[in-house]
Amino acid sequence: MEVVKKEIDKLNAEITIKIQEADYKDKVDTALRNYRKKANLPGFRKGMVPMGMVKNMVGTNLLVEEVNKVLSDTLYKYISDSKLDVLGNPLPKKEDAAAIDWDKQKEFSFTYEIGISPEVKIDITDKDKFEKLVIKADEKMIANQISEIAKRYGKMVEADKSEDEDMLFGKWEELEGKTVKEGGITNETVLNIRTVNDKKNQKKFIGKVAGDIVTAKPQEIADAQYVAAWLGIDQEYISDQTSEFQYTISKINRMEEAELNQEFFDKIYGKDTVKTKAEMEEKLRAEMTKSFEQNAEQLFEREVQDHLIKKAKLELPDEFMKKWLMNANEKPITKEQIESEYEQYALGLKWQLIENKLIKDNKIEVTKEEVVAHTKGLIAQQLSGMGGNMMEDAEMDETANRVLENQEEAKRLYEQLYAAKLREFYNATAKIKQKEISYDDFVKLAEKKRTK
Instruction: For 58-108, write each residue's pLDDT tens digit.
Output: 888 999 999 999 999 999 999 999 999 999 999 998 887 788 888 888 999
Average pLDDT on 33-42 reads 83
* 422 has pLDDT over 90: yes
Q: Select the more confidently predicted residue: 389 or 217.
A: 217
Question: What would the pLDDT profile of 196-221 be if each residue is shown by its tens digit?
Answer: 998 999 999 999 999 999 999 999 99
Q: Write the pLDDT tens digit of every residue in 286-317.
A: 999 999 998 999 899 999 999 999 999 999 99
* pLDDT above 90: residue 328: no
pLDDT value of residue 452: 59
State the DSSP string of 335-351: HHHHHHHHHHHHHHHHH
Q: Is the pLDDT of residue 333 over 90?
A: no
Question: Looking at residue 450, what is its pLDDT?
Answer: 67
- The confidence band for 55, taking pLDDT boundaries of 50, 70 and 90, is confident
SS3 percent helix, strand, coil of the chain, rounded to 5, is 55, 20, 25
Kindly tell me if the per-residue pLDDT of 445 is higher than 80. yes
The answer, yes or no, to whether residue 37 has pLDDT greater than 80, is: yes
Q: Which of 44-58, 96-110, 248-262, 335-349 has the lowest mean pLDDT?
A: 44-58
* Interval 29-36 mean pLDDT: 88
pLDDT tens digit sequence for 149-198? 999 899 999 999 999 999 999 999 999 998 999 999 999 999 999 999 98
Candidates 424, 433, 430; CA nearest to 125 is: 430
Across the range 219-242, mean pLDDT stands at: 91
How far is Cα 76 from Cα 420, in angstroms, rounded to an integer?
34
Reported pTM: 0.73
Q: Is residue 10 predicted with pLDDT exceeding 90?
A: yes
Q: How does pLDDT run across 235-257, given as a tens digit for each residue?
A: 888 888 889 999 999 999 999 99
pLDDT of residue 331: 82
pLDDT of the residue at 92: 92
* 205 burial level (CB within 10 Å; 0-12, 13-18, 19+): buried
Percent above pLDDT 90 for the chain = 71
Q: Which runs of consecutive H residues, i.e. helices, occur in 262-391?
A: 262-269, 277-312, 318-328, 335-361, 368-385
**pLDDT tops 60 at residue 388:** no
CB contact at 8 A, 309 and 354:
yes
Confidence of residue 12 (pLDDT cuts 50, 70, 90): very high
Q: What's the CA gap between 321 and 260, in Å, rounded?
A: 61
What pLDDT is stored for residue 403 in this prediction?
92
| pLDDT band of 387, cuts 50, 70, 90 | low
Residue 439 pLDDT level (bands cut at 50, 70, 90): confident
pLDDT of residue 38: 82
- What pLDDT, on a 0 to 100 scale, did the predictor assign at position 137? 86
Domains of the chain: 2-116 (3.30.70.1050), 155-256 (3.10.50.30), 275-450 (no CATH)
Determine the pLDDT at residue 238. 87
Average pLDDT, the chain: 91
Inter-residue contact 100 to 127 (CB < 8 Å): no
Q: Measure Cα distances from 156 to 51, 133, 146 in Å.
A: 87, 40, 17
pLDDT for 158: 95
Q: What is the mean pLDDT of residues 29-48?
A: 83
- 306-315 long-range Cβ contacts below 8 angstroms, 24+ apart: 307/128, 307/130, 308/122, 308/124, 308/351, 308/354, 309/347, 309/350, 309/351, 309/354, 311/122, 311/128, 312/120, 312/121, 312/122, 312/350, 312/354, 314/118, 314/120, 314/350, 314/353, 314/354, 315/11, 315/118
